[in-house]
Amino acid sequence: MALQLLLGSSAFDISREVATVAKEVHITTRAPNVTVGKSDNHENIWLHKMIEFVYEDGKAVFQDGSSVHADTIFYCTEYKYHFPFIETNGIVTIDDDNRVGPLYKHVFPPHLAPWLSFIGMPKQDTPFLTTELQSKWLAHVLSGKVLLPTEEEMMSDVENYYHHMEETGVPKSFTHVLPPNEIEYRNWLLAQVEMPPLKEWRGRMYRECVKFANAKPDGYRDQWDDDYWDAVIASQNFLIHLNSRKENSMNITSLRTVFSC
């Protein structure tokens, strides 16, 4: 198999298998923290920023001006939000960048709240925990235990969120991407249902795992670095927190298993 070009988040997973039979594999991504260049883990995988344009002969030009000639292009561009069973007369829209809105905290359309809500919109997150917390919040709202802000206040919150994305250069396609603020979002939901926030050290543990995955996007599942994780565990004092729990105490080896999940 000749040169392959893969676009999108799923490309990282597919690339490792394709690389075993392809001469070269080039991955493009919108992710802001990925280092462009040759992969540290594979001799024939390269990472790039997004494509600027593609010629009919297969030449793909990237945003930095570099280019490759691809024999095959895979569009691993995730799912598009689509709700054909909902008619909102334009109150809730889905644009070409996959932004569903306006949604207050990714759940309530201000003009239709609380009668219409969306659960599970956030992306690149641990979905089961987030959707459970969103569901608890929704249940509290519908039961009258929690009052939503006014329509104007919710709309203002959405507009401020959009404005902040624009000011910080975050593309519209990342509207429902929670990182790097997923911990804050979950803690906000927990506060709405009068539950204690996530323990601070758990948030640090989660972010260390995300940092490692971002640093090695095409190999973090397959590689293990004892020295790296031993240093992280020691510097963050994770063992102190884990051993203070009622469960059996944990050592460095068992904590490595926690990080590998």
For 93-113, write each residue's pLDDT tens digit: 999 999 999 999 999 999 999
Is the per-residue pLDDT at 240 higher than 50? yes
CA neighbor of 206 nearest in space, from 237, 183, 223 = 183
Residue 245, domain extent: 207-260
Q: Do 68 and 98 sit in the same domain of this protein?
A: no
Amino acid residing at 212: F
Is the per-residue pLDDT at 32 higher than 50? yes
pLDDT > 70 in the chain, percent: 82
Domain assignment of residue 215, yes or no: yes
Q: Do 151 and 109 sit in the same domain of this protein?
A: yes
Q: Do 112 and 188 sit in the same domain of this protein?
A: yes
**How would you write the chain as a 3-class SS string?**
CCCEEEECCCHHHHHHHHCCCCCCEEEECCCCCCCCEECCCCCCEEEECCEEEECCCCEEEECCCCEEECCEEEECCCCCCCCCCCCCCCCCEECCCCCEECCECCCECCCCCCCCCCCCCCECCCHHHHHHHHHHHHHHHHCCCCCCCCHHHHHHHHHHHHHHHHHCCCCHHHCCECCCCHHHHHHHHHHHCCCCCCCHHHHHHHHHHHHHHHHCCCCCCCCCCHHHHHHHHHHHCHHHHHHCCCCCCCCHHHHHHHHHC
What's the mean pLDDT in 70-93? 87
Q: Do 124 and 39 sit in the same domain of this protein?
A: no
What is the bridge-based pairing of β-strands 45-48 and 25-28? parallel
Task: List pLDDT tens digits, range 105-144.
Answer: 999 999 999 999 999 999 888 889 999 999 999 999 999 9
CATH number of the domain that residue 35 is part of: 3.50.50.60
pLDDT reported for residue 6: 55
Q: Do 150 and 211 sit in the same domain of this protein?
A: no
The CB-side HSE value for 161 (13 A sphere, CA atoms) comes to: 21
Task: List pLDDT tens digits, range 223-237.
Answer: 777 787 777 777 776
Domain count, the chain: 3
Q: Which of 44, 75, 106 is the last residue of a domain?
A: 75
Domain assignment of residue 80, yes or no: no
Domain assignment of residue 86, yes or no: no
Task: List pLDDT tens digits, range 40-72.
Answer: 778 898 888 888 989 999 899 988 888 999 888
Does the global pTM surpass 0.95? Answer: no
Q: Do 61 and 19 sit in the same domain of this protein?
A: yes
Is the per-residue pLDDT at 257 higher than 90? no
Domain assignment of residue 200, yes or no: no
Domain assignment of residue 53, yes or no: yes
Computed over every residue of the chain, the mean pLDDT equals 84
Is the per-residue pLDDT at 77 higher than 80? no
* Neighbouring residues of 225: CB distance < 8 A, sequence distance ≥ 6: none
Q: Look up residue 53 and give its two tokens.
A: 């344009």
CA neighbor of 100 nearest in space, from 76, 121, 115 = 121
Domain assignment of residue 42, yes or no: yes
Q: Do 100 and 181 sit in the same domain of this protein?
A: yes
pLDDT reported for residue 164: 97
Is the per-residue pLDDT at 148 higher than 50? yes
Beta bridge pairs of residue 51: 62
Is the per-residue pLDDT at 24 higher than 50? yes
CA distance 10 to 18: 12
Domain assignment of residue 85, yes or no: no
Q: Do 107 and 42 sit in the same domain of this protein?
A: no
34 or 188: which leads in pLDDT: 188
Q: Do 183 and 100 sit in the same domain of this protein?
A: yes
Q: Give the other-Cβ count within 10 Å of 141's Cβ.
A: 19
Q: Do 116 and 184 sit in the same domain of this protein?
A: yes
Domain assignment of residue 198, yes or no: no
Q: Do 240 and 182 sit in the same domain of this protein?
A: no
Q: Do 97 and 177 sit in the same domain of this protein?
A: yes
| Most confident region among 18-27, 158-167, 196-205, 242-251 by mean pLDDT | 158-167
pLDDT reported for residue 226: 79
